[in-house]
Amino acid sequence: MATSYLVSCVSRKRAGPVPAEALYISDWFTKARAYVHAHLRPGDQWFILSAEHHLLEPTRVVAHYDKSLGTMSKVERQEWGRKIVKQLIPRLSRGDNVTILAGSLYRASFVPMLLAEGYEVTVPMEKLPIGRQLAWLRMHLGAEA
């Protein structure tokens, strides 16, 4: 069983174009990325949940953008979530785990679809506000943070 990590994009970005994993520069994103890298095992993968690009491979070169899920309507977020699932499911195998490092605004639009398809979904920071998420990430990174 492999794990696919999904990390939400953030508003603070470099000008680009750069690989997506280097585009986002907030403290939260850099710690979330470090957490994923520290936990990746052979067969695992990770992606960025991008308001603009949907499921974004970390090595894909992209430029700065200003799109946000927070400014989308509920219908637009639901369509965004359907696109995420459409891109993600072909990359998963039955029994895989999807671990999500993202807020509820991101998760609400696609997690129910993943669960309905039978995938295990883990949200380790599910009910934590942003400050506690940073503390959680620091704690799980240990000396690396």
Looking at residue 124, what is its pLDDT? 95
Cα(48)–Cα(59) distance, integer angstroms: 10
Sorted by sequence, the CB contacts under 8 Å of residue 33 that are 6+ apart come out as 7, 21, 24
6 neighbors 113 (Cβ within 8 angstroms): no
What tokens were used for 32?
A: 């979330």
Q: How confident is the prediction along the chain (145 residues), in pLDDT tens digits per residue?
A: 899 999 999 999 998 799 999 999 999 999 999 999 999 999 999 999 999 999 999 999 999 999 999 999 999 999 999 999 999 999 999 889 999 999 999 999 999 999 999 999 999 999 998 889 999 999 999 755 5
Looking at residue 144, what is its pLDDT? 55
What tokens were used for 111?
A: 């997690």
pLDDT digit string (tens) for 24-62?
Answer: 999 999 999 999 999 999 999 999 999 999 999 999 999
Looking at residue 75, what is its pLDDT? 96
**pTM of the predicted protein model:** 0.94
Q: Tokens 């509920």 map to which residue?
A: 74
Looking at residue 1, what is its pLDDT? 87
Show the domains of the chain with their CATH numbers: 3-144 (3.40.50)
Looking at residue 15, what is its pLDDT? 87
Strand-pairing partners, residue 4, are 45, 98
Looking at residue 95, what is its pLDDT? 87
